[in-house]
Amino acid sequence: MNSEDSLIQIELNVLQDIATIIADSRGQIVESLEKCLKILKKNLDLENCVIYKLEDDMLNIFASIDFNKHQKIISEYRLGEGATGLAAKSMEPVVIENVHNDILFLNKSGNRSSDTISYIAVPMIVEHETIGVLATNLTKSTKIDFDDTVRILSIISSLFAQSMYSHFVLEDEKEKLKDLKQYYKMEWDSKVHNFGDIIGESKKMKDVYRVIERIAQSDVTILVRGETGTGKELVAAAIHKRSRRAEEPFVKLNCAAITDSLLESELFGHEKGAFTDAKETRKGRFELADKGTLFLDEIGDISASAQVKLLRVLQEREFERVGGSKTIKVNVRLVAATNRNLEQMVKDGEFREDLYYRLNVIPIDLPPLRKRGEDIKLLVNFFLERAVKNHKKMVTITDEAMDKLMGYPWPGNVREMENTIERIVLMGDEKGINAADMLLLLPALKNEKLIEEYKTISMENRTLDELEKEAIAKALKDCSNNQSKAAEMLGITVRQIGYKVKKYGI
């Protein structure tokens, strides 16, 4: 075997050993890389092998052999500085043949023996971006020549780059998951998340569904408006679920539930030591929701200074953590909700107009339950079925009790109904819930004035068609489904009643 063959053999062995170590690194990235550097040193007689990591335009030692603690700290290069910085910037290997007379050789660590002749810095590139630099000294005893060293180091540096990059991506993901887990745990503890379907067949709700279907796939900001308990959060979750972001986090913050001073840190996070209680760096909701959806509930309740800060994120899509200087960019779809009249607040100078326009790109107005009485029965049955299942207890609601439920204006909307049905199932039995029980379970029903008022309102809200349908249904019931008798009672012809029965699907 001539000397050239044996050199190739050495190179192949080195590559094989390095590839094996890297494939086996299992999260111990620094240790593995340093093992590889030792192989380079031993087999090729390279000195001071070192791997720099590029971060925020600075190169710092990530893995090395032959550097002491102090040398590690001082060996720091800006992008473009010296041979190392130049390799990172130009994305080409930089070689200094004679370190003794080249100004590019800065040797900040002072780590150089009298044997050192040359210095080689090879960029580590992944997807057209430099993530670090592999650098080494050649000495008098280095076995392979200059060009060969550059060649083999280029191969090795791309192996290193790949494994370092995968490691960083994995670490990022892990950290993100950890933060999210913490957040979701908190959420689950406070309340069970409801990603369930939205119940309601009224025209007003159908209009809402149409808007949701239309806008879910885009990234436009949505403002959901409606009284408390009308399902604003449910709608926000439904938008997320139907969006391209469905697999990413859905993160929410109730702006009214926290003090103004805490709001900023909840939204943007804080650095360790930013204030007395900030013992650790914590990500805010905007960062947690990166790539996903952020739901800001009760947006009308934030202070003037919080409005300014929120406006900036919406305009620039970037922010700093409290007590931090690093600018963080995020990709977040915003859904905001409020039960307050923002237009009026703008007029009264309580809410910034510019923020209002940023938020109110697409408004979704949720009707109160009393304006969609026809959904009451559906909702009652939906919640009843669910509660019966949860409590493993059979309870029925009699017709007269249902009439009471339908004649009630539900000021607390769907939430009030959900709670009422829960009580019905807890307190009811097989005999069923009757009208008298209802008065106990929903004391507001005793307020006759309230109920009378609602009757008038709900009549006014009904269309002529609805009234006609009801009248015909009632007449048929009274006449035991005899159409000609019913027609006579209503003063219309048999043909007319036949037509209407078909039209309304009675």
Ligand X SMILES: Nc1ncnc2c1ncn2[C@@H]1O[C@H](COP(=O)(O)OP(=O)(O)O)[C@@H](O)[C@H]1O
Which positions lie near ligand X, rule CB under 6 A?
Answer: 194, 198-200, 226, 228-234, 414-415, 418
When CB distances to Mg ion are compared, the closest residue is: 233
Name which of ligand X, Mg ion, none residue 143 binds, using a CB cut-off of 5 to 8 Å depending on partner kind.
none
Query: Residue 301 binds what, of Mg ion, ligand X, none (CB under 5 to 8 Å, by partner type)?
Result: none
Nearer to Mg ion, 191 or 502 (CB): 191
The answer to whether 404 touches 438, Cβ cutoff 8 Å, is yes
- Nearer to ligand X by Cβ, of 210 and 431: the residue is 210
Instruction: Find out whether 416 and 422 touch, Cβ atoms under 8 Å.
Output: no
Residue number with CB closer to ligand X (148 or 418) = 418
Query: Which C-beta is closer to ligand X: that of 194 or that of 496?
Result: 194
Q: Which does 249 bind (CB under 5 to 8 A by kind): Mg ion, ligand X, none?
A: none
Rounded Cα–Cα distance for residues 83 and 81 (Å): 7
Min dist. Cβ of residue 232 to Mg ion (A): 5
Beta carbon nearer to Mg ion, 233 or 301? 233
CB of 421 to Mg ion, least distance (A): 19
CB of residue 313 to Mg ion, shortest distance in Å: 22
Minimum distance from residue 237 beta carbon to ligand X (Å): 8
* CA distance from start to end of the chain: 99
Q: Among ligand X, Mg ion, none, what binds residue 156 when CB lies within 5 to 8 Å by partner kind?
A: none
To Mg ion, the closest distance from the beta carbon of 211 in angstroms equals: 19
**Identity of the residue, 89 or 333, whose beta carbon is nearer to ligand X in the bound complex:** 333
Burial class (CB in 10 A: 0-12, 13-18, 19+), 47: buried
Hey, is 328 helix, strand or coil? Answer: strand
- Tokens for 310, please give them: 């929120």
Which segments within 212-292 are labelled E, that is strand? 222-225, 250-254, 269-270, 282-283
User: What gap in Å lies between CA 171 and CA 173, rounded to an integer?
Assistant: 5
287 binds Mg ion per the rule CB under 5 A: no
- Closest-CA residue to 338 (of 374, 286, 306, 296): 296
Does position 81 interact with Mg ion (CB under 5 A)? The reply is no
Q: Which does 457 bind (CB under 5 to 8 A by kind): ligand X, Mg ion, none?
A: none
Contacts of 394 (CB under 8 A, 6+ apart): 388, 430
- Kindly indicate which of the ranges 24-32, 179-187, 228-236, 405-413 contains the residues binding Mg ion, using the contact rule CB under 5 A: 228-236
**Strand, coil or helix: what is 291?**
coil
Least Å from the CB of residue 478 to ligand X = 34
* Residue 233 touching Mg ion (CB under 5 A): yes
Give the interface segment with Mg ion, choosing from 4-12, 147-155, 198-206, 225-233 (CB under 5 A).
225-233
- In the complex with ligand X, the residue whose CB is nearer, 238 or 487, is 238
Phi, psi of 262 (to 5 degrees): -85, -25
Using CB distances below 5 to 8 A depending on partner kind, what does residue 368 bind out of ligand X, Mg ion, none? none
For residues 93 and 36, give the distance between their C-alpha atoms in angstroms, rounded to a whole number. Answer: 20
Only segment of 134-142, 226-234, 245-253, 373-381 that touches Mg ion (CB under 5 A): 226-234
Smaller CB separation from ligand X, 187 or 418: 418
Contact 375, 369 (CB under 8 A): yes
Q: How far is the CB of 359 from ligand X (least distance, A)?
A: 16
C-beta of 138 vs 369, nearer to ligand X: 369
CA distance 415 to 419: 6
Contact at 8 Å (CB) between 178 and 170? Answer: no
Q: Where are the alpha helices (DSSP H) in 82-202?
A: 82-90, 146-190
If the CB atoms of residues 83 and 414 are measured against Mg ion, the closer one turns out to be 414
Q: Which residue is nearest to ligand X (CB)?
A: 231
Q: Are strands 333-338 and 222-225 parallel, antiparallel or unpaired?
A: parallel
Q: Are strands 318-320 and 362-365 parallel, antiparallel or unpaired?
A: unpaired
Least distance (Å) between residue 284 CB and Mg ion? 20
Residue of 232, 314, 221 whose CA lies nearest to 267: 314
Q: How far apart are CA 203 and CA 81, in angstroms?
A: 67
Q: Strand, helix or coil at 454?
A: helix
Rounded least distance, CB 236 to Mg ion, Å: 9
- Closest CB 431 distance from ligand X, rounded Å: 27
Residues forming contacts to Mg ion in the complex (CB under 5 A) are 233
